[in-house]
Amino acid sequence: MKLKKFISLALLSLFVFNIQAQEGYELWLDYKKIQDTTVKKKYASFLNNIELIGNSSTIQAIKDELQLARTGFEFENSDPSGNSKLIIGIQSNLPSSLKSQIDTENLGNEGYTITSLNNKETIVISGNSDVALLYGTFGLLREMQQKNDISNLNIEEKPKIQKRVLNHWDNLDRTVERGYAGFSIWDWHLLPELIKPEYKDYARANAAIGINGTVLTNVNSNALILTPHYIEKVKALAEVFRPYGIQVYLTARFSAPIELGDLDTADPLDEDVKKWWKNIADEIYSEIPDFGGFLVKADSEGQPGPFQYDRTHVDGANMLAEAVAPYDGIIMWRAFVYSEEDPDDRAKQAYDQFIPYDGKFADNVLVQVKNGAIDFQPREPFHPMFGAMPDTPLMMEFQITQEYLGFSSHLVFLPKLYEEVLDEDTFSDGENSPVAKVIDGTNSNKKLTGIAGVANIGTEKNWTGHPFGQANWYGFGRLAWDPYMDSKDIAKEWLKINFSNEENFVKPMTDLLIESREAVVNYMTPLGLHHIMATSHHYGPGPWVDDLGRPEWNPVYYHKADKNGIGFDRTSSGSDALSQYAKPIEEKYSSPETTPEKYLLWFHHLAWEYEMKNGKTLWDNIALHYQTGVEQVEEMQATWEEMEPYVNEREFEKTSMLLEIQLKEAKWWRDACLSYFQQFSNMELPEGVPEPEHNLEYYKSIERPFAPGINPSW
């Protein structure tokens, strides 16, 4: 009886494990059985003979991870053949025969080396801290997951950016603002007692891609998170994350001193206010000694801030910076600001507000700037602040969650978008001053550097909803570690780890991922169009919306379509936002002829008949781009259909169904936008673009009352 029960339990857990793996829960830590026996033997000979030097919770984490890998790869029962050995230890602890052969001097605290020595019979993972060893271990496992040759390794890796953080827009009631993968993974109600296994798996997944910080709470913040009741919960999470080198951060609501009932002002220059924040910092650090600091959204979209007291961003940021400075904490002060009273082009406002304060922020402040000046659009020119504040460390903010890119129903490979932004030349330090050099500190030799990604994670079994949403989390981490990485290489890496390293899979799927970003731009906002999504939830098209409280909330503000043409004139004859860029860009973009066509309508208002480089009119080009977007999704579908042999059934089915939705919605975008714009252009659709299936009124009438991701407090 007992045995029977045991067997059925064992079978059940095997089943659950299998289903979990099929659902994608394991992320990129799914150590799949290695089929090729030669490869298997080779890898196993190292992983079955490990010398791990040290003694800490991080060393324990390394040990656990290697064990998981050995089990997953099915090495446990293979012979420890030959003399192969894997040695993992910080450089100063290595046996003296190896020490002289491993140089970690320039690797800082997080960099690592993986080196083949002793006639290639020994692999040594080394660095200057236990966390570096953890990164190195993940580095070696990544090689194995891709089935790479490990016979002569000489890897040296060091992160180029210091603070590599996820921003969770998670509320204390577990809703997630702009979250499309279920509820928040932080179960505040049951913390600190209940430590879910997901917390550790989250830490493992992040450490594996080099993420070293997480902001647990929404930028539209709730002051309660700063109370002892919640700090105890935050502490519990910090303890799970610590061995994995991940610091926790919180969002600080600027008016907290008032809201928590202690003071009647939040004026940053008031002595009591300063003291209040210092006390809060003291309390937090006494519980969480490696607490990272605060992320602040102030004086933006209704959030409280220093302006109310006639103070500046610098006053606000520096006051908080002083409170955390004794503990090496930092303040990430967001530059996503625009004023409801300012009639000026929204794209100009953050620059105008911040540039005068260059060099005035305290040393432990990072100004966190979104990649573009409007808001996480499918495509935006880089934010003009990058390169315009040589004496202020600017932190990049990317969005991993797809607020404006089809939520978690559309397959869009975002590393391609990130790469485009990071590569753009700011000309801030002469030619070849890409955004990447601004944020990694190369330009102006910045001492503090950072990059943030707004997370796409939730309680869905596979964390991200869309199976391919995982690639965006993965890719963000890889680019945060090395912002010069090629997005194509990231795509390949992820595909091999996640599915298969067979060329017939990797090649077409890499092309699909890379193309997917251009597809979404084409079927949503081609040629520089932007912010024409439906109101509030931003799902689906809404170019006709013109009745919202603030002008810059309305799509008509951004496309400015009328019978004379379409586009936002940001040259000197318009809002002159262009002048915020360096001279070479300003000059090049001031004429539509020399503006890259992908940004055309971002900077210019042009007649529908305007002739473009291909000799066709602007109207024809707009229509053809929408059509191309639809066709690209059709191609994605066709490619995916061929991939069935390489992926598990559940992910195959799910992705197929999601691509079907994506295709339907790409057509919806095309038809709705073209019907709307056609009223102004009064021109026929060019050949190859079908007539919309419905009339404009139909598209206008579509509502999505319960679209996810909306903050319930709005």
**Which residues are catalytic, by number?**
301, 375, 403
Of residues 5-64, those binding ligand BDP (CB under 6 A): none
Of residues 417-456, those binding ligand BDP (CB under 6 A): none
By C-beta, is 398 or 473 nearer to ligand BDP? Answer: 398
Establish if 299 lies at the interface with ligand BDP (CB under 6 A). Answer: no
By C-beta, is 335 or 674 nearer to ligand BDP? Answer: 335
**Cis upstream peptide for 159 (omega within 30°):** no
DSSP secondary structure string, 587-609?
HHHTSTTTS-GGGHHHH--B-TT
By C-beta, is 613 or 714 nearer to ligand BDP? Answer: 714
239 CA to centre of own chain:
24
Least Å from the CB of residue 553 to ligand BDP = 10
By C-beta, is 368 or 510 nearer to ligand BDP? Answer: 368
Q: How many CB atoms lie within 10 A of CB 657?
A: 11
Of residues 206-245, those binding ligand BDP (CB under 6 A): 219-220
Closest CA to 479 of 461, 458, 452, 459: 452
Least Å from the CB of residue 376 to ligand BDP = 5
Of residues 317-336, those binding ligand BDP (CB under 6 A): 336
The closest residue (CB) to ligand BDP is 375
Alpha helices in 24-159 (DSSP H): 37-47, 57-73, 96-99, 130-145
Q: What 3-state DSSP class applies to 496?
A: helix
Least Å from the CB of residue 558 to ligand BDP = 14
For residues 304 and 254, is the Cβ–Cβ distance under 8 A? yes
By C-beta, is 336 or 523 nearer to ligand BDP? Answer: 336
By C-beta, is 219 or 600 nearer to ligand BDP? Answer: 219
Least Å from the CB of residue 305 to ligand BDP = 12
Binding string, residues 144-183; x marks residues near ligand BDP by CB under 6 A: ---------------------------------xx-----
Least Å from the CB of residue 380 to ligand BDP = 12
**Residue 522 carries which side chain, given as an amino acid letter?**
N
Least Å from the CB of residue 532 to ligand BDP = 15
Measured in residues, the chain has a length of: 714
Q: What 3-state DSSP class applies to 30?
A: coil
408 token code pair: 């978690």
Q: Cα-Cα-Cα-Cα dihedral of 84, 86, 91, 93, to 10°?
A: -90
**Residue 278 carries which side chain, given as an amino acid letter?**
K
632 token code pair: 């690209």
By C-beta, is 364 or 399 nearer to ligand BDP? Answer: 399
Establish if 376 lies at the interface with ligand BDP (CB under 6 A). Answer: yes
Which residue in 26, 110, 375, 569 binds ligand BDP (CB under 6 A)? 375
Q: Walk across the sheet containing 112-117 and list its strands.
A: 50-52, 85-88, 122-127, 112-117, 154-157
Distance CA 464, CA 454 (A): 12
CA distances from 349 to 15, 293, 399, 409, 557 (A): 55, 26, 20, 32, 15
Least Å from the CB of residue 364 to ligand BDP = 22
For residues 445 and 387, is the Cβ–Cβ distance under 8 A? no
Establish if 297 lies at the interface with ligand BDP (CB under 6 A). Answer: yes
Size of the site for ligand BDP (CB under 6 A): 10
Binding site for ligand BDP (CB under 6 A): 177-178, 219-220, 297, 301, 336, 375-376, 403
